[in-house]
Amino acid sequence: MTTATLDGASAARAGSGVRWLQLLLGFIVMMTISSPQYVWTLFTNDFMKTTGAKLSDVQWTITILIVLQTWLAPAQGYLVERFGPKLLIGLGAVLSGLGWVASSYITNLTGLYLTYGVLCGIGTGIVYIGIVGLMVKWFPERRGFATGIVAAGYGFGAIFSTFPIDEMMKTKGYQPTLATFGAIFAVVGLIAALMLRAPREGDVAIKPLLAGEVSGRNYTPGEMLKTPIFWLMFLMFSMMSTGGLMVITQFKAFSAAFGIDGKTMVTILGVTMAAIPAALTFDRVTNGLTRPFFGWVSDTIGRENTMAIAFILEGIAIFLMLQFRSDPFLLVVLSGLVFFGWGEIFSLFPSTLTDTFGAEHATTNYGFLYMAQGIGSILGAPVAAMIFEKTGSWLPVFYTIITMDILTGLLALFLLKPMRRAFLK
């Protein structure tokens, strides 16, 4: 009896070490696929010049990327669950990197859509849904924290690439920059992905701690799609994703309209640097930190309470950024606060969904919810650009997003929370 107990304890310790390694690997792979979305704004002017297209037409590229990344997620999630994470996630990392390499050679909109849009979209989608679905299984008692960590990899990745990419673009041009960094991302992502695996029996011995807030059964995707609570979360995810994606994709454009361009400098902690890449880098820091932070908070005080705090925070931050839009220093600081209130959607929504519908089909189920970001990409990128082109002002876009953020926070507290409690009884 004593030997069996000791063997079980040893197995549990070994499994614990394995799962933290898997978390680290997932974090690394996520870092390699973040730049196509998060530094996109640095390339928009060059792509407009190369293709001869206007901003709203070029912005369809990032929409294609995010729509494919999200709308193919259910099928991609199923394939990952069916065939395992290693090869499929590795393939996704390679496709994402190749999308950048191929886009360095294009000269027209169609080529841009097919390379940066389609290849990066399919590749990042496989990686993202595969990694998140894997981590909710490895960490059943810390789903918010674990999904927050790997989602932080997606948010943090561009921290290390924004300034190098910006500098290389200035010295070598955007085309060599895309080809070089695309190849690096593909190789690093593939190496890390080949060491991933799903948990085996005995690897995860810890049961969820939030027993009162976790489903006692596993719902199939078909069963989940028939529930009103799923569609409420889908609506909330769509509205919340719109604001952050608008800021990500339009940052350079609306900053220029506010009088801040590539030549504008800002001094932070005694260091003078270009305002736009400084803001983009700081945004990646806060966008990364918020995911494990609010994931951990939600493991402690509940998912919906955390959603309300974070979502309303983003609305307030966007309002303040709008009020101080001509101040380069405050633009950097407040844009970071915007992403601190936004990035946690990628830890809160998957953990809430898995708590509600079970872990067995978590990857595929989250794939369906993740499609909501595709809606947000349409509203935040081309639609926002078209509103600006039609009105000549970014103010209607900003005020719409502020309203959506605050409304979503209230929905989390006063509608999602009681619905989910009733559903789990």
Question: Which CATH number belongs to the domain containing residue 245 in this structure?
Answer: 1.20.1250.20
pLDDT at position 7 over 50? no
Rounded distance, CA 152 to CA 354, Å?
A: 19
Would you state the structure tokens that stand for residue 145, as one six-digit string?
A: 């924290």
214: left (phi over 0), alpha (psi -120 to 50) or beta: beta
User: The dihedral of CA 312, 317, 320, 325: what is its sign?
Assistant: negative
The answer to whether residue 2 sits within a structural domain is no
pLDDT at position 324 over 60? yes
Rounded distance, CA 362 to CA 15, Å?
A: 21
Rounded distance, CA 292 to CA 146, Å?
A: 7
pLDDT at position 6 over 60? no
Would you state the structure tokens that stand for residue 329, as one six-digit string?
A: 């220093």
pLDDT at position 208 over 80? no
Half-sphere exposure in the Cβ direction for 164 (13 Å, CA): 12
Would you state the structure tokens that stand for residue 254, as one six-digit string?
A: 């609306």
Encode burial over 42-58: b for 16+ CB neighbours within 10 A, e otherwise.
bbbbbbeebbebebbbb
For all residues of the chain together, what is the average pLDDT? 89
The answer to whether residue 12 sits within a structural domain is no
Q: Which residues contact 144 (CB under 8 A, 6 or more apart)?
A: 294, 295, 296, 297, 298, 299, 303, 306, 347, 348, 351
Rounded distance, CA 24 to CA 11, Å?
A: 20
Name which of 335, 181, 171 is nearest 250 in CA terms: 335
Check if the beta carbon of residue 40 is closer than 8 Å to that of residue 121.
no
When mean pLDDT is compared across 3-12, 21-30, 293-302, the lowest value belongs to 3-12
Full-prediction pTM beyond 0.85? Answer: no
265-268 and 271-274 strand pairing: antiparallel
Residue 34's SS3 state is: coil
> Per-residue pLDDT averaged across 400-411, rounded?
97
Rounded distance, CA 268 to CA 294, Å?
A: 26
Rounded distance, CA 38 to CA 349, Å?
A: 20
> Per-residue pLDDT averaged across 169-185, rounded?
95
> Per-residue pLDDT averaged across 275-293, rounded?
86
Higher-confidence residue of 27 and 1: namely 27
Cα angle value 176/182/187 (rounded, 5°): 130
pLDDT at position 227 over 60? yes
The answer to whether residue 59 sits within a structural domain is yes
Q: What range defines the domain where residue 189 resides?
A: 22-201+208-424
The answer to whether residue 6 sits within a structural domain is no
The answer to whether residue 349 sits within a structural domain is yes
Top-ranked range on mean pLDDT: pick from 53-62, 64-73, 305-314: 305-314
pLDDT of residue 83: 85
Cα angle value 288/298/339 (rounded, 5°): 30
> Per-residue pLDDT averaged across 157-165, rounded?
81
pLDDT at position 159 over 50? yes
Q: How confident is the model at residue 205 (pLDDT cuts 50, 70, 90)?
A: low
The answer to whether residue 8 sits within a structural domain is no
> Per-residue pLDDT averaged across 169-189, rounded?
95
> Per-residue pLDDT averaged across 165-184, rounded?
94
pLDDT at position 193 over 90? yes
Encode burial over 91-117: b for 16+ CB neighbours within 10 A, e otherwise.
bbbbbbbbbbbbbbebeebebbbbbbb
Check if the beta carbon of residue 175 is closer than 8 Å to that of residue 19.
no
The answer to whether residue 14 sits within a structural domain is no
Check if the beta carbon of residue 111 is closer than 8 Å to that of residue 88.
no
Number of domains forming the structure of the chain:
1
Q: Which residues contact 317 (CB under 8 A, 6 or more apart)?
A: 334, 337, 338, 340, 341
DSSP string, 276-323: HHHHHHHHHHHHHHHHHHHHHHHHHH-HHHHHHHHHHHHHHHHHHHHH
Check if the beta carbon of residue 362 is closer than 8 Å to that of residue 291.
no
The answer to whether residue 229 sits within a structural domain is yes
pLDDT at position 18 over 50? yes
pLDDT at position 419 over 60? yes
Place of tokens 């590795």: 90
